[in-house]
Amino acid sequence: MLHVKQLQDVVNSYFANYHIPEQPELLYKPIAYSLSMGGKRIRPVLCLMACEMFSDSYLPAMDAAAGIEIFHNFTLLHDDIMDKADLRRGKPTVHKLWNKNIALLSGDAMSIIAYRHIAATKNQTAECLEVFSNTALQICEGQQIDMDFENNDNVSISQYLEMIQKKTAVLIACSLKLGALVGGAGNREADLLYDAGINYGLAFQLQDDYLDVYGKKDVFGKNIGGDITANKKTYLLIEALNSADFVNVALLKKILRNKSISSSEKIEQVTAIYNRLKIDVLCRNKISEYFTLGLQRLEEININDQQKNRMIGFVESIAGRKF
Amino acid sequence: MLHVKQLQDVVNSYFANYHIPEQPELLYKPIAYSLSMGGKRIRPVLCLMACEMFSDSYLPAMDAAAGIEIFHNFTLLHDDIMDKADLRRGKPTVHKLWNKNIALLSGDAMSIIAYRHIAATKNQTAECLEVFSNTALQICEGQQIDMDFENNDNVSISQYLEMIQKKTAVLIACSLKLGALVGGAGNREADLLYDAGINYGLAFQLQDDYLDVYGKKDVFGKNIGGDITANKKTYLLIEALNSADFVNVALLKKILRNKSISSSEKIEQVTAIYNRLKIDVLCRNKISEYFTLGLQRLEEININDQQKNRMIGFVESIAGRKF
């Protein structure tokens, strides 16, 4: 059984040696660029880990892991067009470095390449393809629901959780389930890992929302307060707006509407309201709740403790804390 | 064995009753709209026909036919964004009726739905998926090469033929091959049909280039001379620019550079040059050549004449003439 770091090296070395055709250059160079940007490789590592739970080796999961990582990067590429984002992981986005048409088309090609990898899995291929297609479609639904939120001032917490489940959590769950399936797991184990993945995925996204306000820039990797500046509907903002404390809610709404306020003032004032409403505590509790649910699903699987502990350790390292 | 008209009805009725989820509305309505726009359903009909060559029924090919038609409509949807096209089959394009982000995302979802159908084929599924992925990727390459041509004044005929093979012909070929595979054909027959499809596809595209200049608007369904107005590199223009008649080539280049000429004058003068260089005859001969090559591949397949004649009749009806 490899260490997490070794599995990350496996994935990074796989992509460092990944064959991408040379021509047409404007189709394939953006794909190579996108795949070389790195990131934590969370999904492929989870996929390889899940495979090793049921197989001697992570190797049967390489195609599934690659397909999921390529698909993930495809969604980032197209999301960046839709969000007009200039930077991704500190580097210029594809549509900025080339142009929108090139980003659109090379994204399309990445989605096809991703499917080619999933179709190349050698074990329980039909099941893998079905889970992958359902996941991929839910990710599109999640992205659309997220865009719909921009014009909706009455988003409920359950609507928000549905959105992040589709946009983020299902791909984490799919990574684990596909790894399990190609590793030879039965339906029960594969489904337990899927459910664990949904809970971990929800926790990761809530953690991301939390760190946007309460994180440290050098650890978080993004500017603090970006969601607040953009009036982005996060778990924190929706909980705050749904609070019974009408005075603070009215104040919060006034700040959100105020277009002359500076970014730093806005971040400071909104954070103060979150603190008064104890939204930080609420959010941390919710994150712990989802991690615990994920852990419970993992505990139900009949594998040795070493396997379980490796996965828990990885999940905690992503979250940046223990549970 | 059904008549062509009956197969078209099968496809149209399949899409008229096609289940598309209701929510999120802005993801799925554009998909329903795109699939309801109709068209000649050339690809799915060819797919069903190829299946009936080797099977009692067209039914085993329904998923392959649907997947290919949905994928085709996905490429049109994304191409329309890239080309900034306002109209498709006389109706507003998705990005015009909604917006670019919605067109981008619903296109992504269509590509996934297409794959789901291909993965649902019940016979020779792995082969179908492999052919489909290779085809889909070549279509992206073809689209990129086509975009590259806009900034390249030295496109050769062989580069042009490579582009239309990838952008157009491979999906016609894929339709026939997948139909054959799900119908139970062996590799030899499936490959012969694939080759026939490549030749038919090239012929269809050259015919499209030809009709832009020499067609009648009510039959062609588009304004005549659109390619000439846009300086689009078609078979006709590339052959004309490669002609040894330097006087006419110089005149043609002058017209292409002239930005103050009216559309109708430009169409008239360029058409006159094509006529003097006998580009019309050259193009008709090339079209006949590809149709004949397609026919030869079809003749090599061990199926009855009724099957062959139905396909030849359909291909001739698309081309609008007999060969």
Nearest by Cα to A39 from A60, A80, A70, A6: A70
- What pLDDT is stored for residue B223 in this prediction? 79
Q: Do B27 and A136 touch (CB under 8 A)?
A: no
Of the partner residues A105, A119, A147, the one whose CB lies closest to the CB of residue B143 = A105
pLDDT at A272 > cutoff 80: yes
CB atoms within 10 A of CB B91: 15
Confidence of residue B184 (pLDDT cuts 50, 70, 90): very high
- What pLDDT is stored for residue A322 in this prediction? 67
Task: Look up the ipTM and state it.
Answer: 0.96
> For residue A193, what are its two tokens?
């890992």
Which chain B residue shows the shortest CA-CA distance from A131? B116
- What pLDDT is stored for residue A217 in this prediction? 75
Q: Do A104 and B81 touch (CB under 8 A)?
A: yes
| Cβ(B133)–Cβ(A115) below 8 Å | yes
pLDDT at B319 > cutoff 90: no
The contact set of A with B (CB < 8 A) is 23-24, 26-27, 78, 81-82, 101-102, 104-109, 111-113, 115-116, 119, 125-126, 129-130, 133, 136-137, 140-141, 143-145, 147-148
- What pLDDT is stored for residue A221 in this prediction? 67
Q: Measured between beta carbons, which residues in chain A are less than 8 angstroms from residue B101?
A: 81-82, 147
Nearest by Cα to A41 from A11, A62, A14, A21: A11
Q: Do B119 and A136 touch (CB under 8 A)?
A: no
Of the partner residues A78, A101, A115, the one whose CB lies closest to the CB of residue B108 = A78
For A226, counting Cβ atoms within 10 Å of its Cβ (0-12 exposed, 13-18 middle, 19+ buried), the class is middle
Nearest by Cα to B20 from B38, B39, B36: B36
- Span A218-227, average pLDDT: 79
CA distance B244 to B276: 12
How high is the mean pLDDT of chain A?
A: 95
* pLDDT per position as a tens digit, A116-174: 999 999 999 999 999 999 999 999 999 999 999 999 999 999 999 999 999 999 999 99
| Cβ(A95)–Cβ(A103) below 8 Å | yes
Please, what CATH class does the domain formed by A4-319 belong to? Answer: mainly alpha
Minimum mean pLDDT range among A177-186, A210-219, A295-304: A210-219
Q: From start to end of chain B, where are the E strands? A: 87-88, 91-92
Residue of B28, B115, B121, B148 to mutate, testing the A interface (most A Cβ within 10 Å of its Cβ): B115
Domain boundaries, given as residue ranges, for chain B: 4-319
Residue of B105, B111, B162, B165 to mutate, testing the A interface (most A Cβ within 10 Å of its Cβ): B105
Torsions phi, psi for A91 (to 5 deg): -115, 155
Q: Measured between beta carbons, which residues in chain B are less than 8 angstroms from residue A130?
A: 116, 119
Q: CA of B147, closest CA in chain A: separation in Å?
A: 9
* pLDDT per position as a tens digit, A44-103: 999 999 999 999 999 999 999 999 999 999 999 999 999 999 999 889 999 999 999 999
Q: CA of B186, closest CA in chain A: separation in Å?
A: 21
Which chain B residue shows the shortest CA-CA distance from A84? B101
Q: Do A144 and B105 touch (CB under 8 A)?
A: yes
pTM, full prediction: 0.97
Q: Measured between beta carbons, which residues in chain A are less than 8 angstroms from residue B137?
A: 109, 112-113, 116
Q: Measured between beta carbons, which residues in chain B are less than 8 angstroms from residue A105?
A: 78, 82, 140, 143-144, 147
Q: Measured between beta carbons, which residues in chain A are less than 8 angstroms from residue B102?
A: 144
> For residue B152, what are its two tokens?
């390249």
CB atoms within 10 A of CB B182: 31
Confidence of residue A223 (pLDDT cuts 50, 70, 90): confident
Q: CA of B192, closest CA in chain A: separation in Å?
A: 24
Q: Measured between beta carbons, which residues in chain A are less than 8 angstroms from residue B104?
A: 78, 81-82, 104
Which chain A residue shows the shortest CA-CA distance from B122? A126
* pLDDT per position as a tens digit, B29-62: 999 999 998 889 999 999 999 999 999 999 999 9
- Span B305-320, average pLDDT: 92
